[in-house]
């Protein structure tokens, strides 16, 4: 079948996509057993990604980045999804944390953090979710009370991608605990030699077992007021603005994963024999894959439209919610159907489809549960 070429793919973006595909296969997927066992990916992999120009692709060159558009980052994230990997926390590092600092940081904050993030020498995380606050970010309780030229931070975070490995975190805090959403601010916290900061459990998940997903705690951590990201009390609005881009990233990974699932299942069913024929020769198998391919293609076209809107600065929150909700729902559906066509082998983790089945499920939960996405879409009607 003719390969779909996204409208946002020029020659440079296409070449970057190919480079990223080789990187994920060679540096990440080839060592899955090691990453699964240790629940994190080695720093050497981050440094290699930096050398290849796969980190912070859309950060300006003056801050060490690739100087491209967000299309360049999305090409990397799509390639990651197609590789079958959701353990390497590159999307959080490059697509989210770096862009918070770029969008809201002072010149000093940008020059301090972005070059190291682009090279892979500094690993970034974002701290939103808490044990009692997930999609409802107004409900966070981590506090940052001002004391002279410092904030004193107390609280805990959970489900933090890159949590135990990060050198820096963009931390959502309450600078005014009584002000609701208007009391939320963002702080850049240097986690290296940070007194009062502790990593709790590196969490044992159903999928994405190679990912560093951790619990973090902050006890009387002193953070300079100069580390405030943007204005005090603007954190909630900043997160709502940036979450649209995060949801687009998840859609890109979902699209890549669907295409890989269908490709591998077509290959498997054409090579697997049953009752004297290949599995693909049976009409049910062929029709199932025809439907899965159609779902994957229509999702790809919708993603393409949303990316074009985003690159033009016109992607609204409801559209971002649609692409996140719809593509992750379809990702889980398509991969589940592909597992079925693999039979018993689809349940074996030595087959990529089984890993993809496990990894996909959380896509419908993080960055705002899909039920919250539907509520956002309904509100815009």
What pLDDT score does 289 carry? 98
User: Confidence class of residue 288 from pLDDT cuts 50, 70 and 90?
Assistant: very high
The pLDDT of residue 137 is 80
Tell me the pLDDT tens digit for each residue of 307-332.
Answer: 999 999 999 999 999 999 999 999 99
User: 329-334: long-range contacts (C-beta < 8 A, 24 or more apart)?
Assistant: 329/364, 329/370, 330/254, 330/258, 330/295, 330/296, 330/299, 331/254, 331/255, 331/257, 331/258, 331/360, 331/363, 332/360, 332/361, 332/363, 332/364, 333/295, 334/258, 334/261, 334/262, 334/292, 334/295, 334/296
Please name the fold of domain 11-122.
Butyryl-Coa Dehydrogenase, subunit A; domain 1 (1.10.540)
Where in the chain do CATH 1.20.140.10 domains reside? 236-380
The 10 Å Cβ neighbour count of residue 8 is 18
pLDDT greater than 90 at residue 136: no
Mean residue pLDDT of the chain comes to 96
312 burial (CB, 10 Å; 0-12 / 13-18 / 19+) is exposed
pLDDT beyond 90 at 1: no
Query: Helices 70-83 and 283-311, interaxial angle, to 10°?
Result: 160
The band of 53, judged by pLDDT with boundaries at 50, 70 and 90, is very high
Q: How far apart are CA 219 and CA 154, in angstroms?
A: 5
What distance in Å separates the CA atoms of residue 295 and residue 229, rounded to the nearest whole number? Answer: 40
Catalytic: 246?
A: yes
pLDDT at 212: 97
CATH 1.10.540.10 segments of the chain: 11-122
* % of the chain exceeding 90 in pLDDT: 96
- What is the pLDDT, as a whole number, of residue 135? 74
DSSP 229-272: -SSTT-HHHHHHHHHHHHHHHHHHHHHHHHHHHHHHHHHHHHH-
Let me know how long the chain is.
381
Q: What is the DSSP string of 132-155?
A: TBSS-GGG---EEEEETTEEEEEE
User: In angstroms, how far is the first alpha carbon of the chain from the final one?
Assistant: 37
Residues 6 or more apart in contact with residue 252 via CB below 8 angstroms? 74, 77, 78, 81, 303, 307
Residue listed under structure tokens 């960055």: 367
What tens digit of pLDDT does each residue of 174-233 get?
A: 999 888 889 999 999 999 999 999 999 999 999 999 999 999 999 999 999 999 999 999
Options 246, 288, 300, 319, the catalytic residue? 246
Residue 32 has pLDDT above 90, yes or no: yes
* In the chain, ranges of CATH 2.40.110.10 domains: 125-232
Average pLDDT on 269-281 reads: 96
Looking at domain 236-380, what is its CATH homologous superfamily?
A: Butyryl-CoA Dehydrogenase, subunit A, domain 3 (1.20.140.10)
Average pLDDT over residues 102-131: 97
Q: Is the predicted pLDDT of residue 133 greater than 90, yes or no?
A: no
Predicted confidence band of residue 365 (pLDDT cuts 50, 70, 90): very high
The fraction of the chain above a pLDDT of 70, given in percent, is 100
**What is the mean predicted confidence (pLDDT) over 47-55?**
98
Cα–Cα nearest to 249, from 57, 118, 67, 104? 57
Question: What's the pLDDT score for residue 58?
Answer: 98
Average pLDDT over residues 278-297: 98
Confidence grade of residue 132 (pLDDT, cut at 50, 70, 90): confident
- The two structure tokens encoding residue 219: 């006890």
Q: Which CATH architecture has domain 125-232?
A: Beta Barrel (2.40)
Structure tokens at 13: 């973006």
Cα–Cα nearest to 137, from 242, 227, 231: 242
Return left, alpha or beta for 166; rule: phi > 0 is left, psi -120 to 50 is alpha, else beta.
beta
- CB-based burial label for 64 (10 Å; 0-12, 13-18, 19+): buried
Quickly list H helices, the chain: 11-23, 32-38, 43-52, 70-83, 90, 98-104, 107-119, 235-271, 283-311, 317-341, 352-360, 370-379
């Amino acid at each position: 079948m003719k390969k779909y070429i996204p409208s946002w793919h020029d020659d440079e973006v296409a070449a970057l996509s190919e480079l990223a595909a080789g990187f994920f296969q060679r540096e990440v997927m080839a060592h899955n057993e090691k990453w699964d066992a240790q629940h994190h990916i080695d720093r050497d992999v981050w440094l290699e990604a930096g050398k290849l120009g796969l980190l912070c692709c859309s950060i300006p060159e003056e801050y060490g980045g690739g100087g491209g558009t967000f299309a360049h980052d999305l090409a990397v994230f799509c390639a990651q999804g197609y590789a079958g990997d959701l353990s390497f926390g590159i999307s959080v590092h490059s697509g989210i944390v770096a862009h918070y600092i770029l969008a809201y940081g002072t010149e000093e904050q940008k020059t301090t953090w972005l070059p190291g993030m682009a090279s892979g020498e500094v690993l970034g995380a974002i701290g939103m979710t808490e044990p009692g606050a997930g999609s409802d970010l107004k409900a966070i309780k981590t506090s940052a009370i001002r004391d002279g030229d410092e904030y004193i931070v107390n609280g805990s975070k959970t489900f933090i991608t890159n949590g135990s490995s990060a050198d820096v975190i963009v931390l959502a805090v309450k600078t005014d605990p009584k002000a609701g959403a208007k009391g939320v601010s963002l702080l850049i916290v240097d986690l290296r030699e940070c007194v009062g900061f502790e990593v709790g459990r590196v969490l044992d998940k159903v999928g994405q077992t190679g990912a560093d997903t951790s619990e973090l705690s902050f006890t009387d951590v002193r953070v300079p007021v100069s580390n405030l990201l943007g204005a005090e009390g603007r954190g909630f609005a900043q997160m709502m603005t940036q979450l649209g881009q995060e949801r687009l990233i998840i859609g890109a990974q979902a699209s890549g994963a669907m295409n890989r699932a269908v490709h591998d299942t077509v290959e498997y069913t054409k090579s697997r024999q049953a009752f004297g024929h290949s599995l693909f020769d049976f009409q049910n198998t062929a029709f199932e894959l025809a439907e899965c391919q159609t779902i994957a293609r229509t999702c790809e076209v919708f993603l393409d439209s949303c990316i074009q809107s985003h690159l033009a600065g016109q992607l609204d929150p409801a559209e971002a919610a649609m692409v996140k909700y719809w593509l992750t729902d379809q990702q889980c559906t398509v991969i589940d159907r592909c597992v079925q066509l693999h039979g018993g082998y689809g349940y074996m983790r030595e087959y990529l489809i089984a890993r993809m089945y496990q990894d996909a499920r959380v896509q419908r939960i993080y960055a705002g549960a899909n039920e919250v996405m539907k509520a956002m879409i309904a509100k815009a009607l």
